[in-house]
Amino acid sequence: MRFPLTLKFFLFAALVAVVPLALVGENLIRIARDELKSAVNEDLTGVAAQVSNEFDSLYQGQWLAPLAVIRSGVDNPQLDVSQKVSLLTEGMEQMADVVALQLSVQGAALPLMVTDQDFSQELAAAGLDPVRMLSTSPELVANIESTGQYGRPIISRIAETGDWIATLTLPMESKIAGRKLTLAAKINLTTLRDRVERHPFYQRGQITVVDHAGRTALVDQVRVISDRSIVASAMPLIVAGARADALESYVRDDGTLMLGAYAFPDWFPWAVITELSEKDAYAVVDEMMKSILVVGALGFAAASAAALIFSRGLTGPILKIGRVADQIARGEFAARVKNVRSRDEIGDLAKRVNVMAGELGERLELMKFVSHETVSAIQAQGSEGISRGGERRAVTMLFSDIRGYTAFSETVSPEQVIEVLNRLFEAQAAVVEKHGGDIDKFVGDELMAMFTGEDKELRATLCAVEIEQALSETVDDQIGSALEVGIGIASGDAVLGAMGARDRMDYTVLGSTVNLAARLCSKAGPGQVLIEGATQAFVKDAEGVVLTTLEPVQLKGIAAPVPIFSAKLA
């Protein structure tokens, strides 16, 4: 027996009308509060972890790693003292946060030191001796050596200026008169403070950095806030060197209900604490309660009378939505539900169907902006969705960079630049696809492609030399003969996978093989294809390619000169 939709709607409205509004409202508020608390807690823990990770990344990437490079240079026995001083000076100029570098000789009272002139002037203006404030004492160096704390920062604060300074020491292999050398650096931590104060969460909540004694760090006025429950919970973990991130709710001394979380940087003896009052966190719930009461009262009075009137307009829109759903199922993403103007769930459903159709069409277009490997990875994950992580793969990487592009772009309009760039990329992409490669990304005027599977080295090399030929055929009066490409190819293992944030990832390939191919590309001249030894071993006897042995080259980030070969069509 068919049960008419009009009658269903009327009975449903009558049933809802007899449900106690207070019970419904209380359940909705409880559910919303629980969901909102979960979201806030996730936000708190995420921000704390993000700030901690930024601290570690900044320390390792912008300070520790460059200082290790400087140490290696100073350790070079072929450099005399003046050259080593020059290396320290130039190295410090490249690192804006480093305010002093020194070489300490074991047993010597006077170190060899260079300082940042602007920072030294600030110290002098505050009545301080820059040399005394920025030098690392022999006692501190000896203490670090005895505890094995090389490479870990020793934090201090200059009270007169409010600056936070990290002292970092690295042992040297070379010696002077049989005495050990130590490289010491003073790093201004203002960048860390800026990261905290400029974080979006800082505008609505609190981000506090504390040490093992519950004292605030990276601030002008140091305060002891160990009376806060969350700070007291984090302090023992800092002392113990533990890294157990957590969140909790607590009450401050003034009675304010708070939600908080903490995380620990690996390189700093601190805890990063994020806090948000429950009042601010649940403000939307209070507004929701008011809205429910107002809308519920009006709806209760009008539900029964309006049920019969509104139900008459339901059947037609539902049928329209059904027909459009069938069209979408057949791939007709341009289909839309039209002439449904009702401002209710049916109207919302019609809008959502229209939005869904548009988004499906957009996703179809977005498929053009991702690599084949990305699509394959997403399809392999199925309904679970792709997760962050990577796997080791044997690959051959190809980097192609347009030479003369900058000069060309300055002589024509931006519209012409884009048109020409697309034509050149189109020609290259066709050759990459022909040889079974996968374009990972376009960066400016550079193309990055990956080859996997059998004969990947030969296919990548043939692709490179054919790109040179294809572009020579593409060049015309509009493009100009000055545009050519330099190509670098390298083979080996790389890590392929999804990397980035939870809500914004990039499926790409990373590793030394990728870096080597990029370096070779930067070395390649116009119309030149450079390959390294691993690729050359696979293609040296192949037909259709002529290899020429070139002088090994020194590449950035690689200690020994790299043997390279030039490839051309036979």
Q: For 148-171, write each residue's pLDDT tens digit.
A: 888 888 889 998 888 999 999 888
Question: SS3 breakdown of the chain: % helix, strand, coil, rounded to 5?
Answer: 50, 25, 25
Residue written as tokens 């200690």?
Answer: 559
Quote the crossing angle between the two packed helices 456-474 and 414-434, to the nearest 10°. 140
- Please report the pLDDT score of residue 16 as a whole number: 63
% of the chain at pLDDT higher than 90 = 17
At residue 457 the predicted structure's pLDDT band, cuts being 50, 70 and 90, is very high
Distance CA 73, CA 401 (A): 31
Least confident of 213-217, 378-382, 439-443, 515-519: 378-382
Q: Reduced to 3 states, what is the DSSP secondary structure of residue 232?
A: helix
Q: Reduced to 3 states, what is the DSSP secondary structure of residue 256?
A: coil
pLDDT exceeds cutoff 90 at 104: no
The pLDDT of 395-421, averaged and rounded, is 85
- Please report the pLDDT score of residue 417 as a whole number: 83
- Please report the pLDDT score of residue 516 as a whole number: 93
Per-residue pLDDT reduced to its tens digit, 312-339: 666 667 767 777 778 877 777 778 778 7
- Please report the pLDDT score of residue 10 as a whole number: 64
pLDDT exceeds cutoff 50 at 368: no
- Please report the pLDDT score of residue 396 as a whole number: 94
Q: Which domains, from first to last, does the chain contain? A: 5-32+287-366 (no CATH), 387-569 (3.30.70.1230)
The pLDDT of 286-308, averaged and rounded, is 66
- Please report the pLDDT score of residue 87 as a whole number: 80
CB-CB contact of 482 with 404 (8 Å): yes
- Please report the pLDDT score of residue 29 as a whole number: 67
Helices (H), 19-64: 21-58
**pLDDT, averaged across the chain:** 80
Give me the residues paired with residue 484 across strands.
403
- Please report the pLDDT score of residue 482 as a whole number: 62
**Greater pLDDT, 285 or 140:** 140
pLDDT exceeds cutoff 50 at 370: no
With 0.85 as the threshold, say if the pTM is over it. Answer: no
pLDDT exceeds cutoff 80 at 555: yes
- Please report the pLDDT score of residue 209 as a whole number: 92
* Torsional class of 289: left (φ above 0), alpha (ψ -120 to 50), beta (otherwise): alpha
Detail the DSSP E strand segments found in 417-536. Answer: 438-443, 446-451, 484-500, 505-510, 529-532
**Greater pLDDT, 291 or 409:** 409
pLDDT exceeds cutoff 90 at 399: yes
**Greater pLDDT, 234 or 570:** 234
- Please report the pLDDT score of residue 403 as a whole number: 84
